[in-house]
C-alpha cells in the first residue's frame, strides 16, 4: 500500500479495528515519513495512556487531514511548452485591432517572441479551455484594460492565479491614458504599475522598456 493510501485509511477509519491498534498504526506511519509534529506525538501519547478521552482521536485525525492536504493537495503547475509566447488580452474593436497590429504584435516579434491573441487562433471546442491553455503556456500576458472588458480582466486573473501557484508567467497591464483618466480601471488593479500611453508611439516605447526589464533578463539567465 502506498504512503498516500495508508494516510487515507488512517483518516477515514479512525479507531479501527480498535483505538489501540489504530494509534500504533498512526505512530508507525508518522515515524516512517519522519513527521516531526510535536502536537501529534503528544496526542498519540495521550491516546495510548487514556484512550479516546478529551477527544484526542478527533484532534489527531484533524492533524492527519492537515498533513494530507500539505503533502498531496498541492497545485501542480504544468510545464510551459511555449516559452517564447506572449499572450495579449484586449478589447476587440477597430481601434484596439489597430493598436495590436501596429504596436503589440510588432514589438513582441521584434524581441523574438511570438504574439498570441485568442481571436487569431483556429480551434474546436471550448474557448475558455483554449484561453486557459494558451495563457498557461505563455511566458507573459499583456492585458490592455482600455474599455474595461470583463474578458480582459478574466484573462489577467488567470495569469495572476498562476503566479500565486509559482508559475513564472509575467503580467503587464496597460491602458490608454485618456480612458484611465475619464473612466478609470477597476479598483483591484488601479494601484498596479500600469503602462499609461498617449499614442501608439508612446505605447511602443514604454512597452519595449517594460518587456526588456521583466522578461529580457529571464531569457539570459
pLDDT digits (tens, 9 = 90+) for 8-33: 999 999 889 999 999 999 999 999 99
At 97, the pLDDT band (50, 70, 90 cuts) reads confident
Cis status, amide bond into 147, omega within 30 of 0: no
Sheet holding 114-116, edge to edge: 114-116, 85-89, 140-144, 170-176, 195-197
At 221, the pLDDT band (50, 70, 90 cuts) reads very low
| Beta strand pairing call for 195-197 and 140-144 | unpaired
Q: What is the pTM of this model?
A: 0.63
Q: What is the mean pLDDT of residues 35-44?
A: 88
137-182 pLDDT, tens digit per residue, is 999 999 999 999 999 999 999 999 888 887 889 999 999 999 999 9
Task: Mark out the alpha helices in 13-111 (DSSP H runs).
Answer: 19-32, 38-50, 56-72, 94-99, 105-110
Mean pLDDT estimate for the chain: 87
In angstroms, the CA 145 to CA 139 distance is 19
Report how many helices (DSSP H) and strands (DSSP E) the chain contains, helices first: 12, 5
Q: Which residues contact 118 (CB under 8 A, 6 or more apart)?
A: 87, 127, 130, 131, 134
In angstroms, the CA 214 to CA 140 distance is 9
- Asked whether 85 and 134 are in contact (CB, 8 A), the reply is yes
Three-class secondary structure of residue 9 per DSSP: helix
Percent residues over pLDDT 90 in the chain: 54
Q: Which residues contact 160 (CB under 8 A, 6 or more apart)?
A: 171
- Region for 65 from its dihedrals, namely left if φ exceeds 0, alpha if ψ lies in -120 to 50, beta otherwise: alpha
The candidate with the shortest Cα–Cα distance to 118, out of 151, 163, 73, 75, is: 151
Q: Which residues contact 99 (CB under 8 A, 6 or more apart)?
A: 90, 144, 200, 203
Cell reading at 72: 498531496
- Asked whether 68 and 10 are in contact (CB, 8 A), the reply is no
Amino acid at each position: 500500500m502506498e504512503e498516500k493510501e495508508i494516510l487515507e485509511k488512517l483518516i477515514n477509519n479512525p479507531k479501527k479495528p480498535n483505538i489501540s491498534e489504530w494509534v500504533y498504526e498512526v505512530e508507525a506511519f508518522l515515524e516512517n515519513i519522519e513527521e516531526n509534529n510535536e502536537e501529534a506525538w503528544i496526542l498519540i501519547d495521550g491516546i495510548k495512556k487514556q484512550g479516546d478521552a478529551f477527544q484526542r482521536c478527533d484532534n489527531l485525525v484533524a492533524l492527519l487531514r492537515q498533513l494530507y492536504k500539505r503533502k498531496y493537495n498541492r497545485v501542480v503547475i504544468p510545464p510551459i511548452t511555449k516559452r517564447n509566447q506572449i499572450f495579449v488580452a484586449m478589447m476587440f474593436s477597430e481601434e484596439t485591432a489597430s493598436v495590436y497590429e501596429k504596436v503589440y504584435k510588432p514589438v513582441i516579434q521584434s524581441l523574438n517572441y511570438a504574439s498570441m491573441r485568442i481571436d487569431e487562433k483556429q480551434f474546436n471546442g471550448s474557448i475558455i479551455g483554449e484561453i486557459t491553455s494558451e495563457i498557461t503556456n505563455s511566458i507573459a500576458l499583456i492585458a490592455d484594460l482600455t474599455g474595461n472588458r470583463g474578458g480582459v480582466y478574466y484573462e489577467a486573473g488567470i495569469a495572476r492565479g498562476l503566479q500565486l501557484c509559482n508559475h513564472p508567467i509575467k503580467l503587464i497591464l496597460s491602458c490608454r491614458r485618456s480612458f484611465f483618466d475619464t473612466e478609470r480601471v477597476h479598483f483591484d488593479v488601479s494601484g498596479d504599475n500600469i503602462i499609461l500611453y498617449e499614442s501608439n508611439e508612446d505605447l511602443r516605447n514604454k512597452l519595449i522598456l517594460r518587456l526588456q526589464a521583466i522578461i529580457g533578463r529571464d531569457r539570459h539567465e
